[in-house]
Amino acid sequence: MSHALTSLPARAGALTPVLPVVAVPALLALPLTPDGAGPADVASGLAVVYCVVRLLRERRRPLSPVAAVVLGLPVVGLALAAMGASSPQAGLTGLGRYLQIFVLVPAAVLLLVRDRAHFRLVAWSFVGLALWQGAVGVHQYVTRTGASYQGEDIRAVGTFGPHDVMSMAMVVSLGLVCAVGIALGPASVRQRAAAAGCALALLLPLALSFSRGAWIATALACAVQLALTGLRRALKVAAAAVAAGVILVGGFGVGTALLQQRIDSIAQVTDAPDQSVVDRYTLWASATGMWRQQPLTGVGMKGFPEYRDRHATLALSSGSEIAGAGTAYQRQPLLSPHNMYLLLLSEQGLVGLLALTGSWLALLVCGLRRLLRVRDRGPGLDCALVGCGLLVWLLTDFVYGDIGGPSTVLTAVALGLVAWWALAGDQRVDGVPRNGVRERVEEAVAR
């Protein structure tokens, strides 16, 4: 009994470094303020400050040379795009946001996550946030208090509201990817069963989000995770997922007709596409027109809205319609191409696109190489599957969306987890035996 009591402060102390990271997804569970702001962005900034303070106190080397190059590579393109912005305010605002999402917060997560126990805690916080937002979304569908879709207030948007209909889909998708990675790893039977149950439960709110991009990205990310664990296991899990989907959608009749219509619309890009598809392709064409105008450096940070109409055709509508979830009907202007790669290409040119995507591809290569190294050995496989799955999801979803909205900060934390798996030292990732009370406590927390 005394041993258990004395170990509690030690366990709390072992978790202290990673708590600011866990606070970010935890605060995303809170409703947004009327102006659309949320405390999660503030928490991410405080996590960066906390990381700097800890580094100064512990006198540790901030990043390895490889990590510094990979995470610092986007700064080149960002600086050039900021200098080419239409105004100093737009340049500084855009530069700060991009640095927060793609450089500072991922670096802070990489440094604050000390071992696999910390990594799993952050991954479970993603799952917890997804379950909460998913539960709110399902309630919105059942009670018809969600965002408007096809004239009915049934679209699941969680606490994010109709102004940001993609946020709940993103949160649920990332939580599902984390749950699948944990379920496929070498954790205890109880933990794997809990993760598998969470993954199956998250399929319903993901379906009710009516987000085609999130569906595609999640299917691809989970397929990659399954493939990396072996073909036989992949087929078994895929069959279970399909059966669960049939029961939820077919057996209970959960939005069957609307879901089928939404699924069919994925392929309708030339044959009677809906207006959202027309708008998306028109915005993509506008972005490529901007790139042709300034191929190397783009039109400048936050320049897409200003140059959009110069390159868009008459097929582009005046904006998307939003209503429901406590919001009156209104039209929301289309201020981005809804494609991260084309947003980078149009505003930052080839320099910015190659710098940022080069950083992501380096993370992918390093992450997959480490995954193959631990796949047969066991320890860390769940972290590998989560890290690689999150990156595959982001890289796929960026074809259908870009940064923006309160959930964007979760992208930064996810990239931090990816960076930790791909770039952290072997002692921190691959399970090399360590000595010391603190390390033993952290391993006990993981179990």
- Check whether 5 has a pLDDT greater than 50: no
pLDDT at 443: 45
State the alpha helices, DSSP H only, in 375-402.
Answer: 381-397
The C-alpha atoms of residue 401 and residue 280 are separated, in whole angstroms, by 10
Over residues 155-175, mean pLDDT? 90
The encoded tokens of residue 218 equal 């999640």
The C-alpha atoms of residue 92 and residue 79 are separated, in whole angstroms, by 9
326-354 residue pLDDT tens: 676 777 777 788 899 999 999 999 999 99
The encoded tokens of residue 246 equal 């049939």
pLDDT at 10: 53
Coil, strand or helix at 112: helix
Given a contact cutoff of 8 angstroms between Cβ atoms, the answer to whether 338 and 282 are in contact is no
28-37 residue pLDDT tens: 998 876 555 5
- The percentage of the chain sitting over the pLDDT mark of 70, rounded to a whole number, equals 79
237-257 residue pLDDT tens: 777 767 766 665 555 455 556
190-236 residue pLDDT tens: 998 999 999 999 999 999 988 888 999 999 999 999 988 877 767 77
Residue 152 main-chain phi, psi, to 5 deg: -125, 145
Given a contact cutoff of 8 angstroms between Cβ atoms, the answer to whether 345 and 292 are in contact is no
Torsion over CA: 222, 71, 407, 89 (sign): negative
The encoded tokens of residue 367 equal 């992450």
Look at 44 and 334; give whichever has higher pLDDT: 44
The encoded tokens of residue 275 equal 């207006």
Q: Which amino acid is at 119?
A: F
Q: How many other CB atoms sit within 10 Å of the CB of residue 69?
A: 13
DSSP letter (8 states) at residue 286:
H
Q: Which amino acid is at 336?
A: S
The C-alpha atoms of residue 36 and residue 163 are separated, in whole angstroms, by 9
47: nearest Cα among 132, 138, 111: 111
165: nearest Cα among 397, 407, 336: 407
pLDDT at 131: 97
The encoded tokens of residue 155 equal 């679209």
Q: Which amino acid is at 447?
A: R
Given a contact cutoff of 8 angstroms between Cβ atoms, the answer to whether 195 and 176 are in contact is no
The encoded tokens of residue 82 equal 């900021």
Given a contact cutoff of 8 angstroms between Cβ atoms, the answer to whether 70 and 423 are in contact is yes
The C-alpha atoms of residue 234 and residue 407 are separated, in whole angstroms, by 30
**Strands of 152-155's sheet in order across:** 152-155, 147-149, 320-324, 327-332
367: nearest Cα among 383, 353, 384: 384
